[in-house]
Amino acid sequence: MTLQGISWTDIPATTWRTEVVYVHQKPVLFPGNVESNLRRAFSFQGRSRAHPDLAWAGASLSRLLLPEDVLARDALTLSVGEGCRVALVRALMLDPKVLLLDEPSAALDSKATEAVAGLLQEWIASGVRGIIAAGHDEGMIRLLPGQEITLADPP
């Protein structure tokens, strides 16, 4: 694996983790409200000097069809679909070069899937960025730009 032509073995782990961010199918959320979950990503090594843009996060969460008060809500009471959208926005706030997405629309209805795809399309277009996504949702696959690779069972 390479990132911008550099082998992953030649990139320090802390640098790799700032450039490549994984978003799990089942959202990883911590005790506390949504805002504290978004801030938490900025407390780790390599991110502690950065500051979260909570205005952007709130606008993005609203764009992803979450209620206005979502930042104040208890993160552990969110539905899986709501949690997935929070985890995605948290990952985007980190401004990686590559997002690794596992089933990004598995817990979403069609309207939320379209909203997520729109945000991801905008994110890709705004810089030198990429997405590697694994998924079964034909709707999401059609909405995301790029190359599709289909894996099949061996004969």
Residue 4's pLDDT band, with cuts at 50, 70 and 90, is confident
pLDDT value of residue 154: 76
Whole-prediction pTM:
0.89
pLDDT value of residue 3: 85
Is residue 95 a contact partner of residue 57, using CB atoms and an 8 Å limit? Answer: no
Look over the chain and give the mean of its residue pLDDT values, rounded to a whole number.
Answer: 91
pLDDT value of residue 48: 65
pLDDT value of residue 142: 75
Query: Averaged over 77-97, what is the pLDDT?
Result: 97
Structural domains in the chain? 2-143 (3.40.50.300)
Query: Averaged over 59-79, what is the pLDDT?
Result: 97
On the question of pLDDT at 136 being above 70, the answer is yes
Query: Averaged over 81-90, what is the pLDDT?
Result: 98
pLDDT value of residue 121: 93
Rounded alpha-carbon distances, angstroms, from residue 99 to 30, 70, 95, 103:
21, 23, 9, 12
On the question of pLDDT at 61 being above 70, the answer is yes
Query: Averaged over 58-72, what is the pLDDT?
Result: 97
Is residue 119 a contact partner of residue 112, using CB atoms and an 8 Å limit? Answer: no
On the question of pLDDT at 116 being above 90, the answer is yes
On the question of pLDDT at 143 being above 80, the answer is no
pLDDT value of residue 54: 96
pLDDT value of residue 15: 87
Return the beta strands (E) in the chain as ranges. 2-3, 6-7, 20-23, 98-102, 130-134
Spatial CA neighbour of 88 closest among 48, 140, 46, 150? 140
Q: Is 109 exposed, middle or buried (0-12, 13-18, 19+ CB in 10 A)?
A: exposed
